[in-house]
Amino acid sequence: MNHIYLDNAATTSVCPEAVAAAVDAMTKTYGNPSSLHKLGFAAERLLQQAREILADALSARPDEIYFTPGGTYSINMALLGAARARKNKGKHIISTEIEHDAAQNTLNQLAAEGFTVTKIAPDENGRIPVSAVRDALRDDTILVSVMLANNVTGRLQPVAEIADAIQSAGSQALLHTDAVQAFLKVPVSVTELGVDLLSVSSHKIHGPKGAGALYVKKGVRLAPIVFGGGQEKGLAPGTEGMPAIAGFAAAVSAMGPLYREKAKEIEEIKRYGLALLKEKCPNLCVLSDGDVPGVFTVSLPGYQSETLVHFLAEEGIYVSAGSACGKGKPSKALLSMGIAREKVISAIRISLSAENTKEHMEILAEALAKAQKVLAHR
């Protein structure tokens, strides 16, 4: 059976360019970038080229890009590193109730270390009010962390406006954003956003798993959270995973232009799908129509998310019950928006890529309509 993959916010297929780059790094340029011989120098050049590609994509400087093993590592490095490095200046952190678990659990750790964490709730549309962040700022606020695009709702957050609010208040706080779900899908410029720290991941943009990056604005100091050699200026020690990093850079080069070219088309497919789903399933609720191209969340009250996901999988259609990292638990992001629990426990997230078509939306709508009929008799 041919499958229809609609779970691209969880992970993506690896594009051919990234595969080729990773294989080349494993079989040809396989030296350790720290080794002082020909193969080492070649690997070091490959690492520098990858750094320049990421920097260009983010409108940053190459020496502001640090490679990590993934988005979770980048977020941990930003939050733990910034908070611990600045604890003598204050111990207050502002974040939100809709952050990914990679941030939520890191903030919980910082709270256990004696930091005070204020979490801002979203409005009913899933957006964080800038005024709430402004009002939460204190003299001892040292860090603000607000994700750029939510992984469940696809909502873009007003990060640039929050940066302006921090600056206008004369606050010392650094601003971090988790841009894992936004990178390449929408324009992401560290200068336009006004952030000090920004996290991205490879496997969300058709690169291999095992690579991420953290932008650290020049002059910002982080305390290391892992200890070893001096790689990545001591912030991400250990021999760099060059196959994954090379694949990451290749995916950025290949998919950046494609996302820009296909963004409008992907959004049209999403809109077509939403209209069709509401037609075929009249009791379907749209919990979020998303801002990021191709990401939206719907609910079929009366049916458990996990049951719907398994039914669709049997039909060869792959979606997610909210965040893949949530392991099927009700989405905290949706609950924090004030959405009724009975709707949240029936939520499924659909996330498209450039490989999806309107026909896929038609098949999804028919399958969900079928699920309602079949599951009603179980």
Strands 212-216 and 197-201 turn out to be antiparallel
Quote the tokens at residue 165. Answer: 């609010």
What are φ and ψ of residue 143, in 5° steps?
-155, 135
Cα 285 from Cα 340, distance rounded (Å): 11
DSSP assignments along 333-347, one per residue: HHHHTT--HHHHTTE
- Left, alpha or beta for 170 (phi > 0: left; psi -120 to 50: alpha)? left
Catalytic option among 15, 281, 285, 325: 325
Which residue, chain included where needed, has tokens 């954003």? 177
DSSP 34: T
The three-state secondary structure class of 141 is strand
Contact status, residue 370 vs residue 134, Cβ threshold 8 Å: no
**Can you state the angle between helices 358-375 and 305-314, rounded to 10 degrees?**
120
- Across the beta sheet with 347-351, what order do the strands follow? 285-288, 295-299, 347-351
Quote the tokens at residue 309. Answer: 């996901």
DSSP 64: G
DSSP assignments along 178-237, one per residue: E-TTTBTTB---HHHHT-SEEEEESTTTTS-SS-EEEEE-TT-----SS-SSSGGGGTS-
Cα 247 from Cα 378, distance rounded (Å): 45
DSSP 67: E
Residue 147 burial (C-beta neighbours within 10 Å; 0-12, 13-18, 19+): buried
Contact status, residue 79 vs residue 209, Cβ threshold 8 Å: no
Closest to 353 in 3D by CA, of 248, 245, 265? 265
The yes-or-no answer on residue 325 being catalytic is: yes
The residues carrying an active-site annotation are 325
